[in-house]
Amino acid sequence: KAGVTQTPRYLIKTRGQQVTLSCSPISGHRSVSWYQQTPGQGLQFLFEYFSETQRNKGNFPGRFSGRQFSNSRSEMNVSTLELGDSALYLCASRIGPQYNEQFFGPGTRLTVL
Amino acid sequence: DAKTTQPNSMESNEEEPVHLPCNHSTISGTDYIHWYRQLPSQGPEYVIHGLTSNVNNRMASLAIAEDRKSSTLILHRATLRDAAVYYCSIGGGADGLTFGKGTHLIIQP
């Protein structure tokens, strides 16, 4: 069974631009979560989607948004990029929100110049 | 604020047991204890989770203190492939995970 895939793997943007990252969960997994990982803050939860609905959100500004499609694929968008948004963005899927085990993708490395 | 405290790094020899500690004094009655590990240039990988009782799986064992304010991840026979950063996290099953800096585990051949 294929794992979680994320595209693109690397991205370079400039301040003020916006970016869209994509995640394809493991087949049969309906819950997708997004995380931001930085050396200073560690791994922080952004939001989780289940059945196309956002069910939980971390403490991030409204510039960070996401959505989930009917096939469980998910996208996250960051608008008006800031230098501090440079990070590894990870997507994780699980069968459903009641399951503890999450499966992570390799991440998208975003660099904001 | 980090909810868990872990040593920055630990070193062990190959084929010996490894005990990775984690303190989580603010844990609530419904919080699960999760352990993940991360190899360089990869996403985190699930290791084990538990609520109150000790847990075993094919990768590791999780020993949970009686007051649940600390736990220990046990790798029974470390291999070079176990060298990674190990993260301990607490939270409900429906909550997102939050990791601190974790423990960098070094395995000596």
* B34, B42, B98 ranked by CB distance to A106: nearest: B42
B27-32 LR contacts (CB < 8 Å, sep 24+): B27/B3, B27/B68, B27/B69, B27/B90, B30/B92, B31/B90, B31/B91, B31/B92, B32/A100, B32/B90, B32/B91, B32/B92, B32/B93
Interface mutation vs chain B, best among A37, A88, A102, A103, most B CBs within 10 Å: A102
| pLDDT tens-digit readout, A38-83 | 988 888 999 999 999 999 899 999 999 999 999 999 999 999 999 9
pLDDT at B81 over 90: yes
* A42, A56, A105 ranked by CB distance to B95: nearest: A56
Beta bridge partners of A43: A37, B99
Which of A62-66, A107-111, B37-41 has the least mean pLDDT? B37-41
Q: Which residue of B has its CA nearest to A37?
A: B99
CA distance A104 to chain B (A): 5
In percent, how much of chain B has pLDDT > 90? 79
Q: How confident is the model at residue B41 (pLDDT cuts 50, 70, 90)?
A: confident
